[in-house]
A and B are shown apart, each in its own frame.
Chain A
Amino acid sequence: DGGITQSPKYLFRKEGQNVTLSCEQNLNHDAMYWYRQDPGQGLRLIYYSQIVNDFQKGDIAEGYSVSREKKESFPLTVTSAQKNPTAFYLCASSTFLAGSYNEQFFGPGTRLTVL
């Protein structure tokens, strides 16, 4: 079964701690994305990567970091510099063809709560 997985589903962290959210895909997609979702705010792009070993900041990258060492994996670290990290985090992947059909496939999400 091809798909995209995120773990864990629920994550709790204390203020001042860094935490890493996992995202893995076996769809052979070049591009991967991280979004943050808050109630009534829709999806806001944190980081995206169009190819291995390269990634770009999205609209709200401050306080977050990513790596893309493997095509299948795109972990997101929420650092202590992120002032309001409690949110629902969604990872997605797609083939990357600018100007063409670009369906993004989403994982089930990780709900992060800062205590």
Chain B
Amino acid sequence: GEDVEQSLFLSVREGDSSVINCTYTDSSSTYLYWYKQEPGAGLQLLTYIFSNMDMKQDQRLTVLLNKKDKHLSLRIADTQTGDSAIYFCARGSQGNLIFGKGTKLSVKP
């Protein structure tokens, strides 16, 4: 299987919460990251979590980390149409990043 796995698509209604899930195989990473990519643009860091944390909250974003299950999730509260984008999960490895294939989030009005 892939090193970092994500489902490819997620569709939600405006105002609902979105939860994007990510699993990984190598638990040696010190940091795990969430990036956002809008159409035709580069990636922007949304948030990150240190591996000894279980949760991190930043305004509408909540990151949950389950190290035992090697599972990372990103929750976006009160999802807006401007949140429509591709979201990438990534883990640090030897100074580099290993990315999942990205989850395309579609927000319907």
Q: Are B88 and A43 in contact (CB under 8 A)?
A: yes
Report the nearest B residue to A99, measured CB to CB.
B30
A-contacting 9-mer, from B10-18, B55-63, B65-73, B94-102: B94-102
Residue A2 interfacial (CB < 8 Å): no
Q: How many residues of B contact A (CB 8 A)?
A: 22
With A42-B88, A96-B95: A102-B31 Cβ-Cβ less than 8 Å: yes
Min CB distance B34 to A, Å, is: 11
Q: How many residues of A contact B (CB 8 A)?
A: 26
Q: Are A42 and B43 in contact (CB under 8 A)?
A: no
**0/1 string, A48-89, CB within 8 A of B gives 1:** 101000000000000000000000000000000000000000
Min CB distance B19 to A, Å, is: 20
Q: Which residues of A contact B (CB under 8 A)?
A: 31, 33, 40-43, 45, 48, 50, 90, 92, 96-109, 111
